[in-house]
Amino acid sequence: MKVLYITSVEPYSGKTAVCLALGRQMQSEGHKVGYLKPVSTQPWRTAEGKLADEDAVFVHNILSLDGDPTMASPVIVTPSALRERLKGLSGDDLMHRIQQAAEAAGKGKEILLLEGGASLREGYAMGLSNLRVAEILGAPALVIVRYRGEMRLVDDALTAQFRLGEQLCGVILNRVPDEAGEFVEEYACPFLEKEGVNVLGALPSVPRLSALSVGELTDLLQAEVLTKDMDPNELVETFTVGAMTADAALSRFRRYQHKAVITGGDRTDIQLAALETSTVVLILTGNLHPSPLIIQQSETLNVPILLVKENTMETINSIERAHGKTRLGQPEKLDAFIQLMSDNVDMDLLFQTCGLS
């Protein structure tokens, strides 16, 4: 069985998406794939009350893997577990637990994908750093480096090399904006290759892939749906707040496509302006119901209305916290990301790195 450890320099860089896309790609080529997230620092309770990692359960289910998805992350670091570790009160052999889970997850598989820590700093307090886990499991490490500026991109890739050493098999640069394409291709990649960092690919920034679906927004905001029909998979690429005059709002709304408009439930003028432009969903704040005219027109245009209890600022803050964590839950997004990987990553070289033909 071959093993690949996938981690990132910082949180929300796209490693879960890469795990999912690689898993689906390998499955489509006939390989038997296993998946495990050895260490989770984000405890999550299932509807049945089981402690698990939400991303690990998500990937396990999307890849249609056998077994209990809540077991896809064998070590979940809770606040109490950390305190016990720091006080020396826990006698658990966490690495042995991970090794057993990896053996079980990889049984009968050709490749085991391991989703590593959210950053290269993670895990040291528990004795489970990215490097130690990858070394003990014999897994070459692939690091996702998100574009945060020219110098930082290069520094982050070099940091991955410094932290992981010979365990590093390569990096994938992610969310590279169009204006940075020339820098990445002409300067960053050649320099990193010269420094011994294997750049397997650079993924351009695609706003639609980081979009939130209407269904995700409904759940996130615990919103009441006021209109009859709603497509939960409809994607929202941009958000704009209607807190100006109707004329100014109309001018602003026309500049954005596939958007959500956030405004008070009593701002009928703003709501009408939003419905005249390319609006995916109206989010009305303050638990203020709109006029029947707005509901009628929204239903005619197939624009759902979400009513939330929080005020506008609280609603914006909730959306901003979730925006970097969006998953490829919609088939459209997953297929698009798999194609993005295929077009921009040297998949043959990556497969060779894993020992797959």
Whether 357 is in a domain gets the answer no
Residue 196 has pLDDT above 90, yes or no: yes
Whether residues 17 and 148 share a domain: the answer is yes
CA-nearest of 222, 236, 243, 221 to 281 is 236
Cα 292 from Cα 264, distance rounded (Å): 15
Which CATH number do you get for residue 34? 3.40.50.300
Whether residues 21 and 88 share a domain: the answer is yes
Whether residues 260 and 214 share a domain: the answer is yes
CA-nearest of 13, 14, 35 to 24 is 35
Residue 10 has pLDDT above 70, yes or no: yes
Question: Would you place residue 303 in the very low, low, confident or very high pLDDT band (cuts 50, 70, 90)?
Answer: very high
Check residue 98 and give its pLDDT: 97
Q: pLDDT for 20-52, tens place per residue?
A: 999 999 999 999 999 999 999 989 998 888 999
**Spatial contact of 282 and 271, defined as CB atoms under 8 Å apart:** yes
The terminus-to-terminus CA distance of the chain in angstroms comes to 13
34, β-bridge pairs? 112
Residues 240-259 have a mean pLDDT of 83
Whether residues 99 and 110 share a domain: the answer is yes
Check residue 126 and give its pLDDT: 94
Whether 235 is in a domain gets the answer yes
Whether residues 216 and 202 share a domain: the answer is no
Max intra-chain CA distance, the chain: 66
- Number of separate domains in the chain: 2
Whether residues 97 and 7 share a domain: the answer is yes
Whether residues 197 and 230 share a domain: the answer is no
**Spatial contact of 38 and 75, defined as CB atoms under 8 Å apart:** yes
CA-nearest of 240, 248, 285, 253 to 267 is 285
Query: Coil, helix or strand for 183?
Result: helix
Whether residues 94 and 197 share a domain: the answer is yes
Cα 261 from Cα 43, distance rounded (Å): 32
Sign of the dihedral through C-alpha 41, 323, 174, 112: positive
Domain that holds residue 176: 2-207+330-351
CA-nearest of 241, 242, 272, 235 to 257 is 235
Check residue 323 and give its pLDDT: 63
Whether 356 is in a domain gets the answer no
CA-nearest of 141, 199, 129, 186 to 165 is 141
Q: Which residue has the higher pLDDT, 142 or 323?
A: 142
**Contact partners, residue 66, CB within 8 Å, separation at least 6:** none
Check residue 250 and give its pLDDT: 82
Total residues belonging to the chain: 357
Check residue 112 and give its pLDDT: 97
Whether residues 135 and 69 share a domain: the answer is yes
Whether residues 155 and 228 share a domain: the answer is no
Whether residues 291 and 339 share a domain: the answer is no
Residues 183-209 have a mean pLDDT of 95
Strand duo 111-115 + 2-8: pairing: parallel
Percent share of the chain, pLDDT over 70: 98
The pTM is what? 0.82
